[in-house]
Chain A
Amino acid sequence: MEQQQLYTVTVYSENHVGLLTQIANIFTRSFINIESLTVSASAINDVHKFTITCFSDVKALDKITKQIEKKVEVLKAYYYTEDEVISREIALFKISTEGLMAIDAIENLVNKFNAKILEVNRQYTVIEKTGVQDEIKKLYETLEPIGILQFVRSGCVSITRSKYEHLSDFRLTIDDF
């Protein structure tokens, strides 16, 4: 078995209904758990982009991306290791304002964790934190003793370290086929 590590799979597709389940199914068939998934527009007109993270290896992902590309509405699928992409997640925390005051942590939070206060009232405070998964985890651990009333974390969004959307190359050559 090759070493498992966190990969980001990017899928470029037409914006058609039903594609999400088909792509998810391909992961399921190979028994790979999707860690996070987001769907958004891309920098190319009319092209949608799935950003999927999962623990896997090169061999499996090679097969999976080819299976994904077999879907008629998919333009292209790529996979990247963590250091090939810049990734961010966003998390929202709701904690009791009283508790937060008691430990006098607000300034610390904003400075040390580079977090944002979105809303404060007598009952609760909503904090936003954007960052990599580890940073969010650290903030979670810091806030946990106060009592987290609600928590939500987004899927991962990533951008490659290359200049353009990778697909741009594909689009230049597509007329050749």
Chain B
Amino acid sequence: MDQWIIASEFAEVAVSLDTEANGPRLRLTDLRGGRVRYLDALELEALAWLPDERMRELLDPSAGRWSDGRRDG
């Protein structure tokens, strides 16, 4: 299985093509946090078309991994 590491001083993620399922998927592993996520073709397409504004929201640490578990007022 070919694997690439996409790394910067801020994050390190392993990326590989997963063929275990009924169709191909991209497998992401956060090498610092251990979390694994699969992305299918449609999800990748959505990411490719994601407006920059939405990507910026995803980069907000409180948007996911480091949220208080409460909705913003």
A and B: bona fide binding partners: no
**Footprint of B on A, CB under 8 Å?**
none
**Footprint of A on B, CB under 8 Å?**
none
